[in-house]
A and B are shown apart, each in its own frame.
Chain A
Amino acid sequence: MSWIPNIFRRRILYSDLAEEMRLHLEERTEQLMREGMSRKEAELAARRAFGNRTVLEERSRAVWQWPTLESIWADVCYALRQLKNSPGFSITVILSLTLGLGANTTIFTFVNALLLRPPAVADAGHLVEMMQRNAKASGIEAYLPLSYPGYSLLREHNRTLAGFAAFDGDPRPVSWSHNGEGQMVFGQLVSSNFFSVLGVEPVLGRFFKPDEDKLGTSAPAVVISFSFWQHELGGDGSVVGHTLVLNGSSYTVVGVAPPSFTGILIGTKHDFWAPLAMTPTLIHDPDRMGSDTSFWLFGVGRLKPGVLKSEAQADLTVLIRTVHSSDPNAATLDASVFPVQLVPSPFRGYVAAFTGLLMAAVGLVLLIACANAANLVLARATTRRRELAVRSALGASRFRIIRQALTESLMLSMMGGAGGLLLAYWSIPALLSLKPATIPVSIEAPLDWRVFSFAFAASLLSGLAFGMVPALRSTRRDLLPALKDERQLAGPRRSRLRGSIVVAQITICLVLLISASLCVRSLFNARSIDPGFSTHNIAVAQLDPGSLGYTEAQDRQFYRQLLERVRALPGVSSASLSDNLPLGTSRSVHGVHIDGFTPPPGQDSIPIQIANVAPDFFNTMGIPVLNGREFTTQDIHPESTGVIINQAMAMHFWPGRNPIGQHLKEDKQTLEIIGVVKTGKYRSLGEDPLDFMYLPLDSQPQEFLVVRTRASEEAALGEIRRVIQSLDPNIVPMEMESISQYMALPLFAAHTTGVLLAMFGSVALLLATIGLSGVVAYSVSQRTNEIGVRMALGANRLDVVRLILKQGMLLAGIGIVLGLALSFAATRVLAGLLYGIKPGDPLTFGAVSLFLGAVAFLSCYVPARRAASIDPMKSLRAE
């Protein structure tokens, strides 16, 4: 690679050369003067003898130049000049590619954020994450976190890990008492060795010591996140040693985590970390640590040198079987060991399927954009035939001309790629805002080097894809007719290629449009699905006084006062409480026994999903009571046996009978049905009717307050916030939202796919329209003579319009037929995402095909009209 130093040495080489030549001329001049010439004559003679100094100097310099690099640079300059000279062509191609590449870059940024970006830990290759897996179950249901006693046993007795840490999978909302009131912050409970196992270094202070993770320690410690330190504590350099009051107890800040570290799971943005031993004081759950049936910890370990993942898996599986030795089902529990990734293995399949679908959609958009570009480049190559012919007549080799043509295509695709990056930069925040603001999940989607490499590679491939065929085509032909300015009648091969590109565009476009329409219709369907409760004029607040260490009596007192005061607010017609809401993120299931029914195989009771609700719940939520009655205050006592079931459960277990007064057994207690309510949606909007049972809510720390308002929900939420403040300023509602905001979560998947696919579909339609009308317009310009002759021979305007339309619509027709066939196959993938509409919905297929046909007709009609306005005399004279 001698050219590298040469580039730097060149300046010296060139000045040496110039100096040498100057001295040569000087010496010759002096010589000639000694031979008797005058200075003038001598100088002239010396120059004559030397030859053309400029040319010689140039040729001497050329010896040192790196020919390919420099001629590529020349190609680039030439290409830029060419593109500047045809701005219409360049802008169309660049915009097409910007849309195509922008969509791809945007979606890839999310793929990168979710699946490729590694967590900010040291040497992630030797870290493993661990959960228990039930070999009998499948999918996500098979995975189970660890209990604390289980984790302790694994940590003590494993022989394959250099360190084994654990962390609580759920972010814990915690009230931080600050300036006299509570502020909600999120914390994560971790084992004391969490940071050292991950190899993370603090930016300030230190991480946990083992004795800080002992129950009953006298020095409760927390580590705070960099962003919490910066944004909430003003980046105070003396923060270590300060005290934070969290959920009513004091904690000493011992260290600050580095800015890049936000935990090792996607979507988590913790404000602080606390040792596992803080569980009883921080989240007021005294039994969790000792319980071997609450599974809440993810394991993360660092492999000992030379140990394979499979060996660690075998080692941990043996230990897990020991943990569960008393449980007869334990034989089916394995350790599942997987790499430490932001989205852990068990969940990756779902994320990959969803992002893969979106990648496929934007890939199709890019194909259409490339087809557009190819068609435009082909058309332009035809108008540049003379230029190419002149260049090859002057001695440019075919390779050289192809290289020049490819340089132009690559310039276009690179500009499109840069535009695409810009588009991604703008659209990513917009897409992130599709996520309901009330979900406490933060996703970072940075434009990092992976995204840039992807954008570069995609641009390069697109440039080659749409540039190669036209480049090969346009250089393979006789020079002579081009030089003689003979207008070539559009050759059948050429137009066949362009035609098939358009057919492909229409085909892909139809597939995208049909998929998009299905998703949009599904979104509307999902919106109109009756969730079984009212979706307006309800305000929702989630509260947890238990996190402040309230006793049961205090809880009961708090909620009683809260309901009293809220009910008294102006505009409030009713208010109630529930421990979980339908379509929420948490659910609880009770096992019951019903006479005449046997539990499902493998279970000793019939599992029924339940919710505990306070009086007036159904009235407030707008859930119709079909039979019997609601709970009243008389039902709220520990010995209460009344339950309310939904209609689906009534039909399931007591078909054709009056369920009121029927009994079912739960453990030792016999329950009596006192009411039947309308069946709603409980887990997802798309679910089939599900059995559901309501129990009277006595007192639980964590509850949802639901309030029916006559006035606006926003005003009511403000009033409710004031009431809560007046009861205890340290209580921070975890969620405060209107019922329509609450519904954003269950609608999220439908909403996102609907919006994205509709966007991609419109882009595809726009690009395909440009493509089709471009091809038809081009063929009109090529057939001007023919049209002139036809008109001279008596064809009227209508005949001409028909002629042009026939050509365009034939292409569109073939594209639509192929697109329909392909859509039947392609839309099957969507089946799982669609609400209330079948993937092969004939109405959608028909309507979208008709629509695309109409758009195709319009985009042919405009150039056809232009063709009809050709003046036959003019076009013939031009010959």
Chain B
Amino acid sequence: MTDSSPRDLFPGALEMMILESLRRQPAHGYALVQHIQHRSNNLLQVEEGSLYPALQRLLKAKLVKAEWGISSTNRRVRTYQITPAGMRHLEDEISSFERMFEGIALVLNPGKSIVN
């Protein structure tokens, strides 16, 4: 079932960013949001809460796993960690995303393609 509700990002983008962040280090939801906003120089204005449906989808697909624990700031947090399947999925996604991005770029900047 695809989620047809409108989203600011294209489908799968948020998941990809979450996986990429988790590949660097395990994190809980709040830290993930901070990380993504920070890394994108606040260019991506996602609703913080929209992270959670994405996290649930990743959990269900067993691309990440979650565990309750205590953070360095002594808070009770649910920390997410990428699984080996998540790693593979991320790599596939990134390469297909790059191909798509390349295609879009070619269409948007026809001049460059001739140069290339």
Q: Which residues of A are in contact with B by a Cβ distance under 8 Å?
A: 13, 16-17, 19-21, 23-24, 27-28, 49-53, 56-57, 59-64, 67
Contacts and interface: CB of A to CB of B under 8 A. Distances in A.
Contacts of A62: 3, 53
B60 interface: yes
Nearest to A20: B78
Given A23-B76, A23-B77, A28-B30, A51 B49 contact: yes
A60 B78 CA distance: 15
Given A23-B75, A50-B49, A56-B49, 11 more contacts: A17-B52, A20-B28, A20-B29, A24-B33, A49-B47, A49-B48, A56-B50, A59-B3, A60-B52, A60-B53, A60-B55
**What's the dominant secondary structure at chain A's contact region?**
helix
B56 A60 contact: yes
B77 to A, nearest CB: 7
Contacts of A28: 30, 48
Top 5 nearest A-B pairs (CB, nearest first) are: A51-B47, A51-B49, A56-B49, A63-B56, A50-B49
B49 A52 contact: yes
Contacts of A16: 66, 68, 78
B52 A57 contact: yes
B60 A64 contact: yes
Given A63-B60, A64-B56, A27 B75 contact: yes
Contacts of A50: 47-49
B32 to A, nearest CB: 10
Contacts of B5: 59
B75 A51 contact: no
A51 B52 CA distance: 11
A27 B3 contact: no
Nearest to B4: A395
Contact of A59 (B53, B60, B75, B78): B53
Contacts of B39: none
Nearest to A54: B49
Nearest to A30: B75
Contact of A56 (B28, B53, B78): B53
A430 to B, nearest CB: 52
Interface size range on B against A: 20 to 34
Contacts of A17: 52, 56
B106 to A, nearest CB: 35
A63 B57 contact: yes
B56 A24 contact: no
A21 to B, nearest CB: 6
A433 to B, nearest CB: 57
B1 interface: yes
A256 B33 CA distance: 77
A738 to B, nearest CB: 74
Contact of A63 (B29, B53, B78): B53
A63 B58 CA distance: 10
Nearest to B62: A2
Interface in B26-59: 28-30, 33, 47-50, 52-53, 55-57, 59
Interface string B1-20: 10101000000000000000
Contacts of A20: 28-29, 52, 78
A59 B3 CA distance: 9
A24 B1 contact: no
Interface of B: 1, 3, 5, 28-30, 33, 47-50, 52-53, 55-57, 59-60, 66, 68, 75-78
14 contacts: A17-B56, A19-B78, A20-B78, A21-B49, A23-B76, A24-B33, A27-B30, A27-B75, A51-B49, A56-B49, A59-B53, A60-B56, A62-B3, A63-B57
B94 to A, nearest CB: 23
Contacts of B56: 13, 17, 60-61, 63-64
A778 to B, nearest CB: 39
B80 to A, nearest CB: 10
A56 B52 CA distance: 7
Contacts of A59: 3, 5, 53
Contacts of B57: 63
A19 B66 CA distance: 13
Contacts of A64: 56, 60
Given A23-B75, A23-B76, A60-B56, A53 B30 contact: no
Given A59-B53, A60-B56, A24 B48 contact: yes
A16 B68 CA distance: 9
Contacts of A57: 52
Nearest to A26: B75
Contacts of B78: 16, 19-20, 23
Interface centre among A13, A23, A28 (most CB of B within 10 A): A23
Contacts of A63: 53, 56-57, 59-60
B50 A24 contact: no
A411 B42 CA distance: 54
Nearest to A65: B1
Contacts of B76: 23
Contact of B49 (A13, A23, A27, A53): A53
A60 B57 CA distance: 8
Contacts of B50: 51, 56
B62 to A, nearest CB: 9
Nearest to A49: B48
A67 B29 contact: no
Contacts of B3: 59, 62
A60 B49 CA distance: 10
A62 B56 CA distance: 9
A63 B51 CA distance: 13
**Interface core residue of B56, B57, B75, B76 (most chain A CB under 10 Å):** B56
Nearest to B66: A16
A207 B3 CA distance: 70
Nearest to B61: A63
Contacts of B52: 17, 20-21, 56-57, 60
A27 B75 CA distance: 9
A853 B76 CA distance: 82
Nearest to B3: A59
A13 B68 CA distance: 12
A19 B48 CA distance: 15
Contacts of A67: 1
A53 B48 CA distance: 10
Nearest to A57: B52
A501 to B, nearest CB: 38
A51 B14 CA distance: 16
A627 to B, nearest CB: 95
Contacts of B75: 23, 27
Contacts of B29: 20-21, 24
B89 to A, nearest CB: 16
Contacts of A49: 47-48
Contacts of B66: 16
Contacts of A24: 29-30, 33, 48-49
A90 B53 CA distance: 41
A57 B55 CA distance: 12
Contact of A51 (B30, B48, B55, B68): B48
Which of A13, A19, A56 has most B Cβ within 10 Å?
Answer: A56
B85 to A, nearest CB: 14
Contacts of B1: 67
B16 to A, nearest CB: 17
A20 B28 CA distance: 9
A60 B56 CA distance: 6
Contacts of A61: 56
The residue in A20, A57, A62 that gathers the most chain B C-beta atoms within 10 A of its C-beta is A20
Contacts of B48: 24, 28, 49-51
Q: Which residue of B5, B30, B76 has the most chain A CB atoms within 10 A of its CB atom?
A: B30
Contacts of B53: 56, 59-60, 62-63
Contacts of B59: 63
A465 to B, nearest CB: 31
B92 to A, nearest CB: 21
Contacts of B68: 16
A756 B76 CA distance: 75
